[in-house]
Structure 1
Amino acid sequence: MTILKTDKITMRFGGITAVSKLDMKIDKNEIIGLIGPNGAGKTTCFNMITGVYVPTEGRIFFEDKDITGIKTHEITKLGIARTFQNIRLFKELSVLDNVLIANHMRLDSNLFSAVIKTPDYRKKEKKIKEKSISLLKDVGLEEVMHEKSSSLPYGKQRRLEIARALATDPKLLILDEPAAGMNPQESMELMEFIRKIRDKFNLTILMIEHHMQVVMGVCERIYVLDYGIMIAEGTPVEIQNNPKVIEAYLGVE
């Protein structure tokens, strides 16, 4: 079953074409990599899928629904969540509070019930807290749930950001350079972690990553962008041996 499809999406900024006629198809439960040199258009692609940018041309389909031009918060409610290259936590809040805030997106209550704390609202808040604690347990952060998020080591901050994305109940999780800033041991643990959350939460995962060991170790298929154009698609072995990919990364004599 296809969960995400892009149909010749193009993004222009003035006279500059950042992404050109990109066709991409992702099936349910796949772990897909999107790679390419700096400036290839990877983040622009993510921004189109998540509603930050409206494509200049082309359409985007999520579970066969045309989501082109839909606002970011509406796309999140449909089931697409993302993390960012630069970690965006509420640094002065606790680990638990960071996840609670994300969970409140699914809290179906009005302002009146929230202000006076009706029994129904308190019941829903209790369920959200239980869900948040369970999520932190799943990502290995239960023991630090009451610590300030800014006090966590870098690798744990990454896990917290992913837990916050998981709190929105996504079907498609988009990770923007999850291994950035990690040491080799943390990167190895990240690969196992990505597989674990894919299986446990029945997710499809699309990730940008410059760390080739992570990409080749965890992704089942890989798309390669260069100057906004798709130059290759295939398995990790096929991508490693593709002359166009080698040229894009290493150049030619």
Structure 2
Amino acid sequence: MSLLRTENVIMQFGGVIAVNDLNIDIKKGELAALIGPNGAGKTTAFNVITGVYTPTSGKVLFSPTDSAGVASEIDISGKRPDKITGLGIARTFQNIRLFSDLSVLENVLIATHLNINYSFLSAMLRMPKARKGEREAKEKCEFLLERMGLIDLKNEKASSLPYGQQRHLEIARALATNPQLLLLDEPAAGMNPQETDELTDLIFKLKTDFDLTIFMIEHHMDLVMEISDHIYVLDFGCTIAKGNPNEIQNDPKVIEAYLGVDEDVED
């Protein structure tokens, strides 16, 4: 069953077509990757999916499952990012976006406010429902920090964490919104080989333990090929290949996009 589909999505800025006729189909429970050379349109595609941009044409269709276990397809094209997050799509960014002066715990707590079910007045008056909600939110955030190996640092400022742990914190914050689909934009960017290996294991465990569908942009091909079920390849905004890791590794169009061709070689 498809959790996320795009239908002929085009994103154009003036005379520049950043994404051209994008058609992806991500199944529930899948770990999919979007790869391509720098400037291929990958982050623009994520921005369209998450409501940062409204597509010039085409549709973005999401099929979340409700509390009764029923999935309904929704056209989320052009919806506000907060509305899309509320429907069950969470995202991390290529450039880490934490509240650097807040604590590790506070960074995650902020994300839970999207799902509060008590009023501002209840919170101000410290009514029982609000106190219960705050307690449950804190317990949930501490659980996520425990899973990320950050619980002992919960009172430290986010800015004091090493780079790799900041990445983990950003993922914890995304998980706090209760996503069904998690979008990771270059999660291994800036990491050393050991941190990348740890992240690879973490992503796989998150997918299994939280029953997540994951869609990621990543340049570390070892990571992509090791854990991806399905891969889409963009080049100059166009999808030039899609398939499993073995198919992608051996696709001539993908090899050409990444390595180029020798112009002196004749056909």
Q: Aligned-pair distance for 1:140?
A: 1.2
Partner of residue 142, structure 1: 151
1:109 Cα offset (Å): 1.9
Any gaps of 5 or more consecutive residues in structure 2? Answer: 64-72, 263-267
Kindly provide the CA deviation profile for residues 165-218 of structure 1, in whole angstroms up to 9, marking residues without a partner as x. Answer: 000000000000000000001111111100101111110000000111111111
CA deviations 1:124-145 (Å, max 9, x no partner) are 1001001110111111111111
Mapping for residues 57-76 of structure 1, pairs under 5 Å:
57-63=57-63, 64-76=73-85
Tell me the distance in 2 between the aligned counterparts of 1:188 and 1:131: 26
Residue 6 of structure 1 corresponds to 6
Distance 1:71 1:101 in 2: 18
Name the residue aligned to 1:169.
Answer: 178
2:66 matched to which residue of 1?
none
For residue 230 of structure 1, the aligned residue among 239, 245, 265 is: 239
What is the correspondence of 1:76-155 to structure 2 with a 5 Å cutoff? Answer: 76-155=85-164
TM-score, normalised with respect to structure 1: 0.99
Deviation at 1:59, TM superposition (A): 0.5
Normalising by structure 2, we get a TM-score of 0.94
Q: Give the total of aligned pairs.
A: 253
Q: What amino acid maps onto 2:33 in structure 1?
A: G
Contiguous gaps of at least 5 residues in structure 1: none
Q: After the TM superposition, which of the residue ranges 152-161 and 105-114 deviates more from structure 2?
A: 105-114
Give the residue type in structure 2 aligned to 1:203. Answer: L
Q: Report the counterpart of residue 183 of structure 1 in structure 2.
A: 192
Partner of 2:44: 44
Deviation above 2 Å: which 4+ runs of structure 1?
none
Match of 2:22, as an amino acid?
Answer: L
Q: Which amino acid aligns with 1:96?
A: L
Q: Kindly, what percent of the aligned residue pairs are identical?
A: 59
Map 1:209-220 → 2, pairs under 5 A: 209-220=218-229
Separation of aligned partners in 1, 2:116 and 2:156:
24
Query: RMSD value over aligned CA atoms?
Result: 0.7
